[in-house]
Amino acid sequence: MLIRRPPKISPLEITPEASYVTRRRWLKQAGIVSAGLTLPMTPTYAGLQPDDDITPERIATTYNNFYEFGTGKDDPAEHAHNLTTDPWTVTVSGEAKKTGQFAFEDIVKGLTPQERIYRFRCVEAWSMVVPWEGIELSKILAQFEPNGNAKYVEFKTLVRPSEMPEQRSVFSTIDWPYVEGLRMDEAYHPLSLMVTGMYGKPLPNQNGAPWRLMVPWKYGFKSVKSIVSIRFMQQAPRNTWNRLAPNEYGFYANVNPSVSHPRWSQASERRLPSSLFNPNRRPTLPFNGYADEVAGLYAGMDLAKFY
């Protein structure tokens, strides 16, 4: 099959043909995407605002945080092509009936995909509107039959220093693997998504292939990528950024513009694309615009304390 390169696109943005074909086979077998690798487009979804234009694909796939490949925003696109995603094994442990090692394709096989493209507003120091595609996280987790002791679920990213250069850097401050977690009610909320694709295509390596978490009312660092471990727990896991800087990052990572980060305000966000003369800043919305859907999960909690 010939994959044609559009003009003026960096080679770093092109998924290698072998990876594309292999992942397409997996996803097609799993029923996650149609034969044409697209899902029906819908005009809106929960949380979207009238001016929420889709972020250009070239930006969403080349301006990333994926620290395993480097701390620069262009490092993931430059280095992630070295990541091997076939085969891919996931270890499931903890408070569940079905635990052990599972092949990725066996976990997703037979699961019904969403009938729409999710357009999620993702916020960090910047924000994007990305058409993520995938499976409701609850449908993934329910397969393993978590028991009544499972109050939280922990996710870990792959550790493979031979392919992830920042993991072998002597200057890295992160204790690998990258770890994130959710309360079970957050994980089972229908907006929580295990992403397998974007822009009608399989998920690129630099965006977290073969699958990554997306919880749209939380800041982007909650979206753990290239997941190889799922653990059901009684206690909240210590997520990576909370371990690194507990005074700056808590467990929840909910978007709360009224509470400033210790080193900067979170009252506004920079929407990409932007430039020096058009910074494209806009007010940050509580729960990233999804308050109507998710605020009830935190009723009675002090959201300045539980950040």
3-state SS, one letter per residue, for the chain: CCCCCCCCCCHHHCCCHHHHHHHHHHHHHHCCCCCCCCCCCCCCCCCCCCCCCCCCHHHHCCCCCCHHHCCCCCHHHHHHHHCCCCCCEEEEEECECCCEEEEHHHHHCCCCCCCCCEEEEEECCEEEEEEEEEEEHHHHHHCCCECCCCCEEEEEECCCCCCCHHHHCCCCCCCCCCEEEEEHHHHCCCCCEEEEEECCEECCHHHCCCCEEECCCECHHHCCCCEEEEEEECCCCCCHHHHHCCCCCCCCCECCCCCCECCECCCEEEECCCCCCCCCEEECCHHHHCHHHHHHHHCCCCCCCCC
| Res. 3: pLDDT tops 80 | no
Lowest mean pLDDT among 19-23, 71-75, 268-272: 19-23
Q: Write the pLDDT tens digit of every residue in 224-252.
A: 999 999 999 999 999 999 999 999 999 99
Please compute Rg for the chain using Cα positions: 19
Rounded average pLDDT over 181-204: 96
Query: For residue 13, what pLDDT band results from cuts at 50, 70 and 90?
Result: very low
Q: What does the alpha-carbon distance between residue 228 and residue 213 come to, in Å, rounded to a whole number? A: 12
Q: Write the pLDDT tens digit of every residue in 113-149.
A: 666 788 898 898 899 999 999 999 999 999 999 999 9
Phi, psi of 305 (to 5 degrees): -85, -45
Say if residues 96 and 232 touch (Cβ distance below 8 Å). yes
pLDDT value of position 115:
64
| Res. 7: pLDDT tops 60 | no
| pTM, entire model | 0.87
State how beta strands 100-103 and 193-198 pair: unpaired
Q: What does the alpha-carbon distance between residue 133 and residue 136 come to, in Å, rounded to a whole number? A: 10
Which residue, 191, 193, 69, 94, is CA-closest to 140?
193
Query: For residue 17, what pLDDT band results from cuts at 50, 70 and 90?
Result: very low
Dig out the tokens for 277 from the structure: 């003369």
Q: How many CB atoms sit inside 10 A of residue 67's CB?
A: 23
Question: End-to-end alpha-carbon separation of the chain, Å?
Answer: 48
pLDDT value of position 32:
41
Mean pLDDT of the chain: 87
| Identity of residue 251 | F
Q: Which domains does the chain have, with CATH numbers?
A: 11-298 (3.90.420.10)
Query: For residue 2, what pLDDT band results from cuts at 50, 70 and 90?
Result: very low
